Amino acid sequence: MLDYRAEFDAEVTLDGGGELRARGFRLNIPHADVTESEITALLVAALAPQRVERAAVSDVRIIAEPHPPADTEAERVRFVDLSHVITAGMVTSPGLPGPEITPHLTRLASRGVYAPGTEFAIDRISMLGNTGTYLDSPYHRYADGADLAGLPLERLAGLPAVVVRAVGGDRGVTAEMLAHVTVAGRAVLLHTGGDRHWATPGYAVDAPYLTADGAQLLVDRGAALVGIDAVNIDDVSPAAAGERPAHTLLLAAGIPVVEHLTNLRELPPLGARFTATPPRVAGFGAFPVRAFATVPADPAEEPE
């Protein structure tokens, strides 16, 4: 396992006056393919509480180093499953067909294929990529965006997570609600409570969503991934008239989106690590994932 650091030169103008210049500055980064804008966002976050008016980085070098050996006691974690179970005929989004699960080779039929006492079941599933808890890649929205096969694991696995509580109140998660959250390099998980209506007619009615200004803030501040426990990251009500600003902004920036999460109430605001990995399917934009988080035995000790 590798840890990644970015080494770079930086010029920073502070809000209210003052400038900083650095050569060979180093920051921990969540994955090897970070962009300069993501590094800039991480730098701004590292300088808090100083408010930054402008920041620019240059001469970026990515350094990979072996992860220190695990301390079993210190790194003991519990697993939290954040995925819905996929069953035959289930409805993920109203109006879209559910999966069909049928046998290709039954156990009974397999007895004529294998040696005595040996039997297998080989099953077939026909479903939309948008089934259950699934991940959207940029290709889902953009023909020239990265498809499922083009997503690096560093953007999908073991991401430090920040959980934003947005249960009750307004449906939209806005930039104002996210303004004080450190999101750079993190999986931003929007806990809206929308999953309580899963598999009911009310799941898509007045559902929570991420607003356009909220999505733009997450792009500007370098979020690594965004997830929500609701029917869609966007407003799907008739009032939205088919507009999908959150998908449009996040996927244009290469930020994967995970929809239909559940159990986010089980995660602490900080300290968890999030994973949602789809299979490497070429020419495909969305697919179910087994989304889960690992939480330290004492998340209060996890640094921000």
Tokens (6 digits) for 282: 């070429």
Q: Cα-flanking dihedrals φ and ψ of residue 65, to 5°?
A: -135, 145
What are the pLDDT tens digits along the chain (304 aa)?
A: 678 889 999 999 988 788 899 999 998 888 788 888 888 888 887 877 678 888 999 999 999 888 666 555 445 889 999 999 999 999 999 999 999 999 999 999 999 999 999 999 999 999 999 999 999 999 999 999 999 999 999 999 999 999 999 998 789 999 999 999 999 999 999 999 999 999 999 999 999 999 999 999 999 999 999 999 999 999 999 999 999 999 999 999 999 999 999 999 999 999 999 999 999 999 999 999 999 999 987 644 444 4
Q: Which residue has the tokens 């920073």?
A: 12
Closest alpha carbon to 135 in 217, 221, 225: 225
Is the CB of residue 230 less than 8 Å from the CB of residue 196? no
Closest alpha carbon to 132 in 203, 29, 78: 203
Q: What pLDDT was estimated at residue 74?
A: 47
The C-alpha atoms of residue 211 and residue 214 are separated, in whole angstroms, by: 5
The C-alpha atoms of residue 117 and residue 102 are separated, in whole angstroms, by: 24
The C-alpha atoms of residue 174 and residue 103 are separated, in whole angstroms, by: 46
Tokens (6 digits) for 59: 């001469």
